[in-house]
Amino acid sequence: MDTHLLEEKFNLFSEGNMLSFENEPEVYYFALGRVLKWVFAEIGGIDRHRNEFNYLTNPYMPADIRTLSIRIVTFLKKSKLHSKIQNRELISMIHLILSREKILDQVNASLRLCENAFYAGLYWKD
């Protein structure tokens, strides 16, 4: 998996130029990781919310990428979360992620590939 290619596709996604992910769900998962990292930075950092971050990203509890993505989408839907976020670009990315939520049920790609893409997005160096 070429993470730079995922980054390029993520940029298209964030600009709204790439609306369909049926053939490339790994881009959605990469975006999910990037947005989650961005949300935690916006609400005070990972260290201030370590337990919630660990639950969502699975460092200690076995769960597959589908389960994690459902947890993350549920977390992103929280109304209290939206009141803490002031960054309009991030808010629009969250809405874009949530509007494509059906991709979670349609993953035809390797779950391992999607999982790798998610963690590549989560730990991407900006």
Q: What is the pLDDT of residue 65?
A: 85
Q: What is the pLDDT of residue 5?
A: 72
Cα 97 from Cα 8, distance rounded (Å): 17
Q: What is the pLDDT of residue 35?
A: 92
Q: What percent of the chain has pLDDT over 90?
A: 17
Please write the tens of the pLDDT for every residue from 62-114: 778 888 888 899 999 986 777 888 888 888 888 888 887 777 766 666 888 88
pLDDT bracket for residue 21 (50, 70, 90): low
pLDDT bracket for residue 33 (50, 70, 90): very high
Listed in sequence order, the residues at least 6 apart from 64 whose beta carbon sits closer than 8 Å to its beta carbon are 111, 115
pLDDT (mean) for 39-60: 87
pLDDT at 56 over 60: yes
Alpha carbon 86 to chain centroid distance? 18
Range of the domain at 118: 3-122
For the chain, what is the HEC assignment? CCHHHHHHHHHHHHCCCCCCCCCCHHHHHHHHHHHHHHHHHHCCCCHHHHHHHHHHHCCCCCCCHHHHHHHHHHHHHCHHHHHHCCCHHHHHHHHHHHHCHHHHHCCCCCHHHHHHHHHHHHCCCC
User: What is this structure's pTM?
Assistant: 0.81
Cα 22 from Cα 116, distance rounded (Å): 18
pLDDT bracket for residue 20 (50, 70, 90): low
pLDDT bracket for residue 16 (50, 70, 90): low
Domain count for the chain, please give it. 1
